[in-house]
Copies of this chain bind each other. A is one copy, B any other.
Amino acid sequence: MSKSDQFTQAVRSWVDVSTHRSMRGWSHHAKATGLSMPQFSIMMQLYYRGACGLSEISERFEITNAAASQHVDNLVQAGLIERTEDPHDRRAKHIQLSTKGKSMIEKGINERYRWVDQLAENLSEKERERTAEALKVLTEAARKLDQK
């Protein structure tokens, strides 16, 4: 195996393991809160990318405005997001997480990453330092890829 292959293989293995972990926690949380996958995805997106209009939601998920509007409506009725009129353009809506919705997502994120703490316990101080360094390098490189 060449050195390049070793790198590729190491990344693949780790991504497999961590994605599996992450997804399992994710879908578990969605189920526990009674949210469907699309609803949950919209919440997550509002959390990470902040408030937006309805069209942005339909574009990002590649669904029609009608579908997005229906999802948003359900989430508003559940008290998880707020839909207000955009003061600058009264056609548009300003959609954002409510306090309740935000804390629900944050709780989910914490649960979703609890295994990382367990992982930390299984490593020595030195290992934690070295892996943290390595992951920073990787994350940075991946972010650069996104920008291109």
Contacts and interface: CB of A to CB of B under 8 A. Distances in A.
Interface of A (DSSP majority class) = helix
Contacts of A78: none
A143 B23 CA distance: 16
Given A8-B116, A19-B18, A13 B132 contact: no
A42 to B, nearest CB: 15
Given A18-B15, A19-B22, A131-B134, A122 B139 contact: no
Interface in A103-148: 113, 115-120, 122-123, 125, 127-139, 141-146
Given A10-B135, A21-B142, A139-B10, A129 B3 contact: yes
B131 A137 contact: yes
Contact of A123 (B117, B125, B141): B141
Interface residues of A, number: 47
A11 interface: yes
Contacts of A14: 18, 135, 138-139, 142
Interface in A1-59: 3-4, 6-15, 17-19, 21-23
17 contacts: A3-B125, A7-B128, A7-B129, A7-B132, A8-B113, A10-B132, A10-B135, A13-B136, A14-B139, A15-B18, A15-B19, A15-B22, A17-B139, A17-B142, A119-B138, A122-B141, A131-B134
